[in-house]
Amino acid sequence: MKILLTGATGYIGKRLLPILVNQGHDLICCVRDKNRFYIPLEYADSITVIEVDFLKKETLDTIPSNIDAAYYLIHSMAGSASNYDELEKTSAENFVSKINTTQAQQVIYLSGIINDDSLSKHLSSRKKVEEVLSTGSYAMTTLRAGIIVGSGSASFEIIRDLVNKLPVMITPKWLNTRCQPIAINDVLEFLSKSLLNSKVYNQSFDIGGPNILTYKEMLLAFAKAKNLKRWIFTVPVMTPKLSSYWLYFVTSTSYKLAAALVSSMKVEVVCRDTKINQILNVTPMTYDMALSRALLKVQENNVLSSWKDSLVSGRFKTNISTYLKVPKKDCFIDRRKKEIIDRDFTITQIWSIGGETGWYYGDWLWDLRGFIDKLYGGVGSRRGRTNKHTIHAGDALDFWRVLYANKEEGKLILFAEMKLPGEAWLEFKIIGNTLYQSATFKPRGIWGKVYWYAVLPFHGFIFEGMLSKLIK
């Protein structure tokens, strides 16, 4: 079957893709920027990639008409726009308009559990999208999930950050709100088994694990799984704004995402029924089992996708190809080079930079820069990286975004997502037996120039020390 997969670069889409290919389907993957979509070689023959922006009707012409079904996995939560709910509605309307002209028999949408009259903006937006998608000429299947637990998921990463960093937590009262978490493996099983299954046509289902827990109980269960002693006290006086800042400064989340999550966490998300478990013959795993699997994936450095690699985790507003060509005009450039001793060693060092590995020299200064960025509302350096040794275009890497990564060519280009009075690139490239390293800064106004000269004294030993560690 030919399946249209939207949100192919997202947390769910990246994990669903290999499952569908292994089931024998041909995929049409919709992405806004081909430059940040990596296709494993073993799946290349089964995947066609098209550039589509569902907010721009004119780009939808690239969608073929001979598709059999489509997955709608597009979400704008925590995006930079305050009217993301309207953007999500427009995106859904454009999607329906186009899919109605195709041969698609079914559309599958992953939404959020909705069982409260007073919905957050985030959940209300999901409900609106569901209503729009249901107006199409195809069979509609909606799967509604609450907290998704898996390595790299936003929920898992926030829980991990809180438990690892705070022995004692003074928390807002919404930590006593009940929810029904579900493992990412079970979400993927529901999504794949629903495909072209007439038993789930024109219906919506709540999906969740067997445990109904408060957020406080989820945190304590994580602490138990890690053999950590943690004490959590809830207070009634913490406002939504304070709660958002609490999550923002302690965890790796962005403020936009923290605010959206706080708004949603005040609403109880519990499955009304679980009849789909019997229809699709799925037995969801417990919360403890979901935690164990997620922790094992992290320990084995086998995280397949992470919410941090989504563009909404940073400050990108356009395709990464816009920044791919590093400018020279009106820029300050710090250029350095050294002869390499072992090319393979140097490539490994470059491809392992950032995250837990660090920046090889003056790590405390990099951490300080990340902390200052966080104070000014930036991404900080807590995003780390999804995988310790592999990186692809589009990945988040501390407060950088990977623009280009080609091991054979020996070239890596990073773009700074921290708050800056300008734009900054960090580039590594090997030509012959020489490693070239350049830091480029394009200032914005007088403050941009002041910033460059303020940090210039640190470049001498940070960049020189890093360059030396990359070659030996």
Nearest to 71 by CA among 38, 28, 21, 116: 28
Q: What is the distance between the alpha carbons of residues 402 and 412, in angstroms, rounded to a whole number?
A: 8
Question: How far apart, in whole angstroms, are the C-alpha atoms of residue 317 and residue 311?
Answer: 8
The sign of the torsion formed by the CA atoms of 211, 217, 219, 223 equals negative
Full pLDDT tens readout for the chain, 472 residues: 999 999 988 889 999 999 999 999 999 999 988 877 888 788 888 999 999 988 888 899 999 999 999 999 987 654 445 666 788 888 899 999 999 999 999 999 998 887 666 666 666 777 888 889 999 999 999 999 988 999 988 888 888 888 988 899 888 887 888 999 999 999 999 999 999 999 999 999 999 999 999 999 999 999 999 999 999 888 877 676 777 777 777 787 777 777 777 766 777 889 988 899 999 999 999 999 999 999 998 888 778 887 777 766 556 656 676 778 899 999 999 999 999 999 999 999 999 999 889 999 988 888 888 888 888 778 887 788 888 888 888 888 999 999 999 999 999 999 998 889 999 999 999 999 999 999 999 999 999 999 999 998 888 889 999 999 999 8
- DSSP annotation of 45 reads G
Using the CB atoms, write b or e for 135-171: b if 16+ within 10 Å: ebebbbbbbbbbbbbbbbbbbbbbbbbbbeebeebeb
pTM of the model: 0.86
DSSP labels, 322-364 = GG-S---TT-EEEEEEEE-S-HHHHHHHHHT-BTTTB-SS-HH
Classified as helix, coil or strand, 161 is helix
Phi, psi values for residue 49, rounded to 5°: -110, 130
**What's the start-to-end Cα distance of the chain, in Å?**
51
Residue 334 CB contacts under 8 Å (≥ 6 apart), including other chains = 438, 439, 440, 459, 463
Helix (H), strand (E) at residue 397: strand 396-397
Gap between the Cα atoms of 417 and 405, Å rounded: 17
- What are the structural domains, with CATH classification, of the chain? 2-308 (3.40.50.720), 314-471 (3.30.530.20)
- 106 SS3 class: strand
3-state SS assignment for residue 179: strand
